[in-house]
């Protein structure tokens, strides 16, 4: 079948008449004002704007899928989601947009609606933060050679006040008005009326006025008479095949991840799915000090917790698997929600959780009904070890499948999850392991300030109330004390200065400190700060014990002694906590 053609006006009329829809597999409208302006500049310059793929859905199949309407009055804060189409009102002739959603919705907002985005440097709660704007064309923009500027035509979303500004280089015409003209005679009448409103002091020459009319005539033709919407009509009614086609056509633009496809497929079979997933993600990411969970995480978690194959391909997204996920949505989200609550309790947040996949086995154990109170310590160890070993850095889906398979026979309702038992049962791809050996531990002891050092310190400081107080990773001997000038004053030779500066940010010189304490400590020498904060000797000793700081000189001049002693002390303690057999304690 050959490509068919519409004018922009015909496409807008079909959207307005509710004959053109967005299948639920489509993304949300995300184009910003600069992208829309560039699109119309391309239209005016006869640049290709790409082809479109339309899905011609037969009437008998329309109720098998879900569809969304195009956004007309876009508001960056209050109206940025496409509305679900009411099925009883679907037309007999329904066309779904498989490729071209962003372009068509951009045209619809520009030509038929409004676009409200936040003004810079204005608070979101300010009632004037999101002024409503319409789409205008500056017909007085000075003429330039095409190779001199990226944009030849100046389109802009403006407020009514901004659009009233007129001067020799600026005259704004509402683009929507040209779409409503019936012919070139109407364009001429429009410009005649527009000229009468130009102030006399604008001093606009006849040449500029004539060029402005030519620009408006060109815009009219591009919108009303030239069939620039070139589309291929797809008549296949099989959802799986349509999804496969959708993946292929979208791979040329923004890459479509398989998890995006699963998300879209769930939405196609479950109307409230989009809102439910977005609301759940918002809830998760607002816990504690904030997380960075995304749709990718939710889709993988759904596959694992619903006992579906963890293979992100179209064949895995059949209606049966989607039904399993939908039917298990409440227990799945309850398990994930409880898992993230535990993360908050253990002190983790978005910046320290290096792999969101590490949360999924915890949620799986909870969904299977493990005794969370008795299992909490080992579930925490599973998270920490997963972060330290980086088992999800590659082949993450295979790792999740392997862990799930191992857990199936060892975790059930009322059971206690035992990490040691899992480590013996699981067989991970590529020779990976959750278990840590002495060589790995020695490397971890030199971890510099970051997610791994936090994971280790949080394990060493399990007595801290992470869910109540925010803790920072603090340098025991302050960072400022390790400048070359400062160390030379302490008579440290140049050969040692480089070593000390490298060790400054390593685990043996790090501790977890309450945020307010850390700010108060700042660059104060540790020995001075300790005596100031804990004047009683007994309290100082208790502090040092709780932070695993050895009984050695706490002066910066003796940093090498503290570093070596604390490294040995931490090795013994972490070997015990992480079940590492050490030949050289």
Question: Residue 247: its pLDDT value, please?
Answer: 65
Helix, strand or coil, per DSSP, at residue 253: coil
Separation between Cα atoms, residue 536 and residue 534, nearest integer Å: 6
**Rounded-to-integer distance, Cα 164 and Cα 454, Å:** 57
Portion of the chain with pLDDT greater than 90, in percent = 65
How does pLDDT run across 532-574, given as a tens digit for each residue?
999 999 999 999 999 999 999 999 999 999 999 999 999 999 9
Surface-to-core class of residue 411, CB atoms within 10 Å of its CB (0-12 exposed, 13-18 middle, 19+ buried)? buried
Maximum CA extent, the chain: 94
Cβ-based neighbour number of residue 76 at 10 Å: 14
Chain mean pLDDT for the chain: 89
6-15, 462-471, 472-481 — which is least confidently predicted?
462-471
Percent of the chain with pLDDT over 70: 91
Q: What DSSP character marks residue 52? A: E
- According to DSSP, residue 157 is labeled E
Gyration radius (Cα) of the chain, Å: 32
Q: First CA to last CA across the chain, in angstroms?
A: 74
Nearest in space to 523 (alpha carbons), one of 562, 481, 493: 481
* CA distances to 15, 105, 202, 204, 318 from 154, in Å: 26, 20, 19, 18, 47
Cα–Cα distances in Å, from 224 out to 9, 109, 299? 5, 17, 43
Model confidence at 72: pLDDT above 60 = yes
Alpha-helix runs per DSSP H in 372-525: 372-389, 396-408, 419-425, 438-444, 451-460, 484-489, 494-503, 515-521
pLDDT digits (tens, 9 = 90+) for 249-290: 665 545 555 556 566 666 666 767 778 888 999 999 999 999
Q: pLDDT tens for residues 324-370? A: 888 999 999 999 999 999 999 999 999 999 999 999 999 999 999 99
Q: What is the DSSP letter of 555?
A: S
Q: Is 230 exposed, middle or buried (0-12, 13-18, 19+ CB in 10 A)?
A: middle
Torsion of CA 71, 94, 250, 42, to 10 degrees: -60
Alpha-carbon distances of 155 from 38, 136, 141, 347, rounded to whole Å: 8, 6, 10, 49
Q: Cα separation of 246 and 96, whole Å?
A: 12
pLDDT band at 27 (very low <50, low <70, confident <90, very high): low
pLDDT-derived band of residue 57, with 50, 70 and 90 as boundaries? confident
Residue by residue, DSSP assigns 86-118 as: PGGG--SSEEEEEE-HHHHHHHHHHHHSEEE-P
| HEC string for 211-229 | HHHHHHHHHHHHHHCCCCE
Return phi, psi of residue 540, to 5°. -65, -45
The pLDDT of residue 83: 81
More confident residue, 128 or 292: 292
The pLDDT, as a whole number, for residue 44 is 96
Q: Which residues contact 156 (CB under 8 A, 6 or more apart)?
A: 33, 37, 135, 136, 137, 138, 172
Per-residue pLDDT tens over the stretch 129-165: 999 999 999 999 988 765 556 789 999 999 999 999 8
The helix or strand, by DSSP H or E, that contains position 73, with its residue range, turns out to be strand 73-75
Interval 161-186: pLDDT, tens: 999 988 889 999 999 999 999 999 99
pTM of the prediction? 0.65
Question: Would you mind telling me the total number of residues written for the chain in this entry?
Answer: 585
Rounded to whole angstroms, how far apart are CA atoms 425 and 421? 6
- For residues 35 and 106, give the distance between their C-alpha atoms in angstroms, rounded to a whole number: 9
């Amino acid at each position: 079948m050959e490509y068919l053609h519409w004018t922009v006006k015909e496409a807008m009329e079909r959207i307005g008449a509710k004959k053109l829809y967005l299948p639920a597999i489509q993304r949300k409208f995300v184009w910003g004002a600069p992208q829309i302006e560039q699109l119309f500049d391309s239209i005016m310059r006869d640049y290709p704007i790409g082809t479109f793929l339309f899905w011609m859905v037969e009437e008998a199949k329309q109720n098998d899928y879900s569809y969304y309407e195009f956004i007309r009055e876009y508001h960056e804060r209050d109206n940025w989601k496409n509305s679900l189409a009411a099925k009883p009102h679907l037309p007999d002739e329904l066309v779904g947009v498989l490729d071209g959603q962003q372009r068509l919705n951009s045209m619809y907002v520009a030509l038929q609606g409004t676009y409200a985005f936040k003004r810079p440097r204005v608070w979101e709660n300010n009632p004037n933060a999101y002024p409503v704007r319409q789409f205008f064309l500056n017909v007085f923009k000075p003429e330039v050679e095409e190779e001199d500027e990226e944009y030849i035509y100046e389109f802009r979303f403006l407020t009514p006040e901004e659009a009233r500004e007129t001067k020799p280089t600026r005259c704004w015409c509402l683009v929507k008005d040209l779409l409503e003209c019936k012919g070139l005679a109407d364009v001429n009448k429009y410009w005649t009326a527009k000229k009468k409103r130009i102030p006399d002091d604008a001093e606009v020459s006849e040449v500029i006025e004539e060029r402005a009319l030519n620009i408006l005539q060109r815009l009219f033709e591009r919108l009303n008479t030239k069939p620039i919407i070139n589309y291929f009509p797809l008549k296949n009614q099989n959802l799986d095949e349509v999804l496969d086609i959708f993946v292929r056509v979208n791979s040329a633009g923004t890459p479509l991840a398989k998890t995006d496809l699963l998300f879209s497929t769930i939405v196609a079979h479950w109307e409230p799915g989009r809102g439910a997933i977005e609301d759940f993600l918002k809830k998760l990411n607002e816990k504690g000090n904030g997380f960075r969970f995304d749709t990718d995480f939710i889709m993988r978690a759904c596959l694992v917790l619903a006992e579906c194959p963890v293979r992100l391909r179209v064949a895995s997204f059949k209606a049966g698997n989607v039904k399993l996920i939908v039917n298990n949505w409440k227990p799945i989200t309850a398990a994930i929600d409880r898992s993230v609550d535990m993360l908050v309790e253990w002190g983790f947040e978005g910046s320290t959780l290096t792999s969101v996949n590490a949360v999924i086995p915890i949620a799986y154990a909870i969904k299977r009904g493990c005794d969370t109170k008795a299992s909490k310590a080992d579930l925490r160890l599973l998270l920490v070890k997963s972060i330290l070993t980086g088992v999800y850095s590659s082949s993450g889906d295979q790792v999740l499948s392997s862990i799930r398979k191992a857990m199936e026979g060892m975790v059930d309702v009322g059971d206690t999850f035992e990490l040691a038992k899992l480590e013996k049962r699981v067989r991970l791809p590529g020779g990976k392991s959750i278990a840590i050996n002495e060589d790995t531990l020695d490397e971890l002891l030199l971890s510099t300030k970051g997610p791994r050092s936090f994971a280790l310190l949080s394990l060493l400081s399990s007595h801290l109330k992470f869910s109540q107080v925010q803790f920072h990773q603090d340098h025991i001997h302050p960072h400022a004390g390790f400048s070359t000038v400062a160390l030379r004053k302490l008579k440290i030779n140049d050969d040692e200065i480089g070593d000390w500066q490298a060790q400054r940010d390593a685990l043996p010189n790090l501790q977890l400190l309450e945020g307010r304490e850390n700010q108060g400590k700042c660059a104060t020498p540790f020995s001075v700060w300790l005596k100031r904060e804990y004047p009683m000797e007994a309290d100082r000793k208790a502090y040092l014990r709780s932070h695993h700081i050895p009984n050695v000189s706490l002066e910066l001049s003796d940093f090498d002694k503290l570093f070596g002693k604390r490294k040995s002390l931490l090795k013994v303690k972490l070997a015990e906590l992480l079940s590492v057999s050490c030949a050289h304690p």
